[in-house]
Amino acid sequence: MGVGGAVERLLAGRWIAGPEARDALARTKRFNAVNIKAVINYLGEELIDERAVADAEMVYLSLIDMIRESGARADISMKPSQLGLRINPEEASARYGRIVARARGAGVFAWLDMERPEDVDATISMYEGNPGGTGICVQSYLRRSAADLERLCSGGAVVRLVKGAYSAGLDIAFQSRLETTKNYEVLMDYLFAHAREFVIATHDLDMINRARSLNRERGKHVWYAMLSGIRNRYAAALARENESVEIYVPFGPRWVDYSYRRLREASHLTLLIRSMASRQSI
C-alpha cells in the first residue's frame, strides 16, 4: 500500500466503526453513554451481484436482532442500491419491506439513504410502499427536492435533510455550496412549517444554529445528526444542552466509496490534518 492508501485507511478508521456489526455496536455504546443515538449503516452501494444484495439483507436482519438484544439506542440506515435497486427495483423494495418489518418488531427505526439523482423516484416509491417506523433522506443540492419534500410531508414522512453527497448537471442540481446551502434553508423552513419531527443532518454550524433558533419558537421535535468522526465533540456538547442528537455509524469491509465521499467534502487539507491529529473524545 502506498502513502496515499495508508492515509485513506487512517481516515477511514476515523469515519468507520470497523468491519463487523459488533464494532458498530461498540461505537454505539460510546455514543449512547453521552446521550447520542446511533444510526448504523452497513457499508455497500451500487451492488449488482445478487449474492452481495442477499448478504446485505441478512446483515441488516441480524443487526436489528443485535440492537434489540443489546438494548443499544440505535436506528439503521440502508442504501437502496445495496438492497438491489440497480438489479430489480421490485425485489429491492420487497427486501426493504422485510427489513422494515423486522425493525418495526424490534422497535428500531429504519432509514433509507438517498443516492444518485437517477434513483430518487425509485427510492421514494420504495419508501412510500413501506410506511410506519421509517424515514427518508432529502438532498438540498437537487432542484426537485422542494416538490419531493412537499409530497413526502403531505404523506406524513419523517425526513432527514442533507445537502447531498453527490453531484449532477446544472439542469437538475445546484452547483455551488452557497446555492445548496440557501436551498437547505428553504427546505428547513418548509419542514418547520409542515412536519412535526425531522432530522437536520449537517456539520454546518450556521444551519444547526439557524434550526435551533427557529425551534425555540416552533417547538418541533428536531434531531441533529452528524457523521461519525467529523464533529463528535460538538455533537456531545449539543446533547449536553438537551438537544436530540444522532450520529451515523457505518461499518463493514466496503469502506472505499464512503471514504472517498468524505475526503472530497473535507473542504481543505488543514481541516483534514486537524481532523486526523485530533483525539476523538468519544
Ligand X SMILES: Cc1cc2nc3c(=O)[nH]c(=O)nc-3n(C[C@H](O)[C@H](O)[C@H](O)COP(=O)(O)OP(=O)(O)OC[C@H]3O[C@@H](n4cnc5c(N)ncnc54)[C@H](O)[C@@H]3O)c2cc1C
Does the protein bind ligand X through residue 273 (CB under 6 A)?
no
DSSP 40: E
b/e sequence 21-57, b meaning 16+ C-beta within 10 Å: beebbebbebbbebbbbbbbbbbbbebeeeeebeebb
Q: For ligand X, what does the binding mask look like between residues 151 and 190, x meaning CB under 6 A?
A: ---------x-xxxxx----------x-------------
Does the protein bind ligand X through residue 37 (CB under 6 A)?
no
The window from 58-66, 102-110, 190-198, 264-272 that contacts ligand X (CB under 6 A) reads: 264-272
Closer of 22 and 182 to ligand X (Cβ): 182
The answer to whether 96 and 66 have CB atoms below 8 angstroms apart is: no
Q: How far is the CB of 136 from ligand X (least distance, A)?
A: 9
Does the protein bind ligand X through residue 202 (CB under 6 A)?
yes
Q: How far apart are CA 134 and CA 157, in angstroms?
A: 8
Q: How far is the CB of 71 from ligand X (least distance, A)?
A: 22
Nearest to 141 by CA among 195, 112, 190, 178: 178
Closer of 105 and 172 to ligand X (Cβ): 172
Q: How far is the CB of 248 from ligand X (least distance, A)?
A: 4
Tell me the CA end-to-end span of the chain in Å, nearest whole number.
29
Does the protein bind ligand X through residue 116 (CB under 6 A)?
no
Closer of 106 and 249 to ligand X (Cβ): 249
Closer of 237 and 271 to ligand X (Cβ): 271
Q: How far apart are CA 117 and CA 219, in angstroms?
A: 33
Does the protein bind ligand X through residue 113 (CB under 6 A)?
yes
Nearest to 109 by CA among 25, 59, 39: 39
Closer of 89 and 164 to ligand X (Cβ): 164
Closer of 69 and 136 to ligand X (Cβ): 136
Does the protein bind ligand X through residue 149 (CB under 6 A)?
no
Does the protein bind ligand X through residue 204 (CB under 6 A)?
yes
Among 73, 98, 203, 212, contact with ligand X (rule: CB under 6 A): 203
For residue 74, give the H/E element and its range: strand 74-78
Among 230, 236, 238, 249, contact with ligand X (rule: CB under 6 A): 230
Q: How far apart are CA 83 and CA 189, in angstroms?
A: 32
Q: How far apart are CA 56 and CA 42, in angstroms?
A: 8
Where helices occur in the chain by DSSP H, the ranges are 3-15, 21-33, 50-70, 89-106, 120-128, 145-154, 177-194, 205-218, 232-240, 256-265, 269-277
Q: How far apart are CA 174 and CA 94, in angstroms?
A: 33
Q: Which of residues 209-228 bind ligand X (CB under 6 A)?
A: 225-227
Q: How far is the CB of 263 from ligand X (least distance, A)?
A: 7
Name the site residues for ligand X (rule: CB under 6 A).
Answer: 113-114, 137, 139, 160, 162-166, 177, 201-204, 225-227, 230, 248, 262, 265-267, 271, 275
